[in-house]
Amino acid sequence: MKAEYINPFLTSTISAFETMLGCTLTRGTPYIKNGSQPEHEVSGVIGLSGQAKGTVVLGLGREAAISAAEALLQERPPEINGDVTDAVGELANIIAGSAKAKLEHLQLSVSLPTVITGKGHCVEFPRQVTPICIPFESAWGPVTVEVGLTAQLT
């Protein structure tokens, strides 16, 4: 996957957390994701299509997901419920939408978000895609964004 595809997702994630949640993210070193081991309890998944095709996954631990919903709604959900999945889905949507604007030449379309919850869930990427994982640290615990995007041959 081209490195130029990564930066827009990185900056969009930092911006979305800072602006909408008041949460500062500290970036770790991006790495190639191997295998399908899940790292988080809540995943917001967005499909991308256009002159490149792929998936972006926003992964949050239980505390980060609940705290994100609390920051958005000014009320703390007692557990991972519909408010939390709505919040994570919309965050994923905003991150993908903002990154899309920075990758204008790819003419991307963004799918509606899907949110997966539960310990031990897996989000698999297609075999031909090499996903890059961008890890972040926050006051609510770790957050990751995984991006798997390949140029479409025309």
Partner 1 sequence: MTKTLLVTDDALIIRQIIKDMATNAGWEVVGEAANGQEAIDRYRELRPDAVTLDLVMPDHDGLHALHGIMEFDPEAKVLVVSALEQRGVLKNAFKAGAADFVAKPFDKQNLQATLDQLLPEGSS
Q: What residue ranges bind partner 1 (CB under 8 A)? A: 15-16, 19-20, 69, 72-74, 83, 86-87, 89-90, 93-94, 97-98, 100-101, 104, 107, 110, 112
Least CB distance to partner 1 at residue 115 (A): 11
- Minimum Å gap between C-beta 31 and partner 1 is 26
CB of 87 to partner 1, least distance (A): 5
Place of tokens 């095709």: 53
Nearer to partner 1, 73 or 139 (CB): 73
Nearer to partner 1, 96 or 132 (CB): 96
What is the signed CA dihedral for 34, 38, 40, 45, rounded to 10 degrees?
80
Three-point CA angle 148, 54, 61, nearest 5°: 55
Nearer to partner 1, 79 or 104 (CB): 104
Report how far Cα 54 is from the mean position of its chain's Cα atoms.
13
Element spanning 102, H or E: helix 82-102
Contact in structure between 125 and 55 (CB atoms under 8 Å): yes
